Chains A and B, each alone.
Chain A
Amino acid sequence: MKCQECEKPATFHITELTGPELAELHLCAECAQRYLAPSGEEKESSPSLAGMLAQQLNIGQTAEELARLDQRSCPVCGITFYEFRQAGRLGCPHDYICFEEELEPLIANIHGKTKHEGKRPKRGVQDSAKQTEIIKLRQAMKDAVEQESYELASEIRDKIRAIEKEGKA
């Protein structure tokens, strides 16, 4: 069989699953490589997730509402909803709480269900507020170091250690 793009023998037989219809392609090594090379856009995000989100947000939201939503950010990691929408990746565990309202329909859309039924950590779930506090403090410590406020940085470090100690006790 010849490659459908050029005259060389086709050694790649590809079934494309991402489009609305399944398509069969017969390509030589070179054309296949060109075809399979991920485009920049795909690398940056998972397209199905971004698509699903866009679709979901278009329903029942005005442009202003959407713009306001995009600017909302997580108090712990600082990720904006816009950034999440673009990248398809969240910034920290707290995002599941602070963007809960927006994520809930998305999660229902992906999984069909919204409640975890699988295994749970055996030693019980710890207070997540403490864990997110540590994330915030570490960021504050980094900022303090960058501004050369070493005294403040060391105070923050002691706070982090104290919380970590509590967690282990």
Chain B
Amino acid sequence: MKFDDLATRSGEWLRGSGPESDIVISSRIRLARNLADYPFIRKCSEQDRAAIETTLRDRVLGLKELSELFYVDVSDLESVDRQFLVERQLISREHAESFGARGVAIDSEEQFSLMINEEDHLRIQVMHSGLDLESAWKQIDHVDDMIEGEVTYAFHQKKGYLTACPTNVGTGMRVSVMLHLPALVITRQIDKVFRSLHKISLAVRGLYGEGSQAMGDFYQISNQITLGSSETELIQQIREVVPSLIEYERKARAFLINESQNELHDRVSRAYGILCTAQTISSEETMHLLSSVRMGVNLGLIPDLEIPTINKLFIHTQPAHLQKLRGSALDTADRNVERAHYLQSHLKRSDFDDKASNN
């Protein structure tokens, strides 16, 4: 596999399949691990970082089951390529923006990635489409066991896996489920939902992690507590809350249909119309409109469009993806034009053409 081949494919979590995939985009689990015989990243010398990178890369790729992983030396990448990996959720923003020896190993399905020298020496991440935490845990537990057979993790009898930040100590595990909740946003119930999640110590983040919410009504729900419960208990906690979130969102959608179907139909149709015909469009506006269209497709208000197509458009219209797909660097204004063309060519419907040719 070549790096540039990644751009044209779409990756596991955008497949738009799996249980509850009209609302649940993806299920993700990550484990934070550190080698016992090196300082944490903050206190690493350049040599330490290089040695950690080499050790982990060699040991991980030396495992028969993981030998097919595609390894990317992140320190060697152009900034657009690093941004591309962030948009694809294969590395974190911190990993992209940090410095020194670091890398990521990716499997060909993009179901899992291993970040080396992020905030911790090793971050293992598994991502499945739809609501599928159980099999994601099975996979990551197995990968973790295999790597643990090769290296000595920093582990403390009472504190568990030791991490650079005390907020991750213990299991080192973050479980997140990404949900698309446009109807809860429209009906202004989303705050209420967040407040109740905060009360049970769950965190809510936007599409690309830390910071404020925005970006196409996507929300990631994840655990904040990592110590004092087993991995399966932590997964169970998320697993239990997600069905009610799905139900709230479904109810909000039903409410919108019942109370104001015309208005809703108008909203998603206008969104669709703009995406099909705009000549220049920003990433933010695209995300906002695609969110409406995605809900419209799920509610049967827009025919002949597939969810995987829309999922793909969310990512392929991000700045770095556009530039990779185009094969050249583009400034903001050029990107907005390119984005509009890309959307047009992927959303074009035959009846639009018919009308155009009849005129």
A11 interface residue (CB < 8 Å to B): yes
Between A77, A119, A125, the greatest number of chain B beta carbons within 10 A of the residue's beta carbon is seen for A119
A165 interface residue (CB < 8 Å to B): no
A149 interface residue (CB < 8 Å to B): no
| Complex Cα gap A128–B170 (Å) | 16
B141 interface residue (CB < 8 Å to A): yes
B273 CB to closest chain A CB (Å) equals 16
Q: Name the CB-closest residue of A to B165.
A: A89
| Complex Cα gap A89–B225 (Å) | 17
A60 interface residue (CB < 8 Å to B): no
**A107 and B169 form a contact (CB under 8 A):** yes
A93 CB to closest chain B CB (Å) equals 4
| Complex Cα gap A139–B16 (Å) | 49
| Complex Cα gap A36–B215 (Å) | 12
Which B residues are CB-close (under 8 A) to A88?
A: 165
**A15 and B213 form a contact (CB under 8 A):** yes
> Among residues 72 to 102 in chain A, which have CB atoms less than 8 Å away from a CB atom of chain B?
76-79, 87-93, 95-97
B290 interface residue (CB < 8 Å to A): no
**B166 and A17 form a contact (CB under 8 A):** no
Q: Which stretch (A61-69, A109-117, A151-159) binds chain B?
A: A109-117
Q: How many residues of A contact B (CB 8 A)?
A: 59
Q: Contact mask A40-62 → B, CB, 8 Å, 1/0?
A: 00000010010000000000000
A6 interface residue (CB < 8 Å to B): no
Which A residues are CB-close (under 8 A) to B156?
A: 93, 96-97, 116, 125, 128
Q: Contact mask B193-235 → A, CB, 8 Å, 1/0?
A: 0110010010010000001111000000000111111110100
Q: Which of A14, A97, A118, A122 contacts B212 (CB 8 A)?
A: A14
Which A residues are CB-close (under 8 A) to B41?
A: 89
A144 interface residue (CB < 8 Å to B): no
| A positions within 8 Å CB-CB of B | 11-18, 22, 24, 29, 32, 35-36, 38, 46, 49, 76-79, 87-93, 95-97, 103, 106-107, 110-123, 125-126, 128, 131, 134-135, 138-139, 142, 164, 167
| Pairs A–B under 8 Å by Cβ, sample size 11 | A77-B43, A79-B42, A79-B43, A90-B165, A91-B39, A114-B228, A115-B158, A116-B156, A118-B160, A118-B231, A120-B155
